[in-house]
Amino acid sequence: MNDQRKEVWCAGEEWCPITTTSSLIGKKWHPVIIHRLLENGPLGFNALKEEVDGISSKVLSDTLDDLEGNDLINREIVSEKPFRVEYSLTEFGQSLKPVIYEMRDWGLEYLRPPEEA
């Protein structure tokens, strides 16, 4: 796994693991998509869009490109006719499981859902 280490420069000219992790999963939809793939396994684009409530197709596509560029997800063409793509977590993406589940557990303990209108 050492060959997949990511480097991010922090203030104070030190390497900062918090900033590194935040740069990989700190965008709004990144942890949500990783969580859905952890929970459901590989998903096609439309199935993933259904699992991520409130995300537009454009934002999902851009976010998947970003996650793929950071080696967190795989994009695999499953069939050409009809064209179908499936997204899954890489081993590197799978390694985020304890982080994502801790985020979920913290949220369940300390956050309350919005009040119903």
Distance CA 52, CA 43 (A): 12
The residues that bridge with 56 in the sheet, in sequence order, are none
pLDDT in tens, the chain (117 residues): 445 666 665 665 566 777 778 888 989 999 999 999 999 999 999 999 999 999 999 999 999 999 999 999 999 999 888 889 999 999 999 999 999 999 999 999 999 888 865
Tokens encoding 89: 């977590």
Distance CA 84, CA 25 (A): 26
**What does pTM read for this prediction?**
0.85
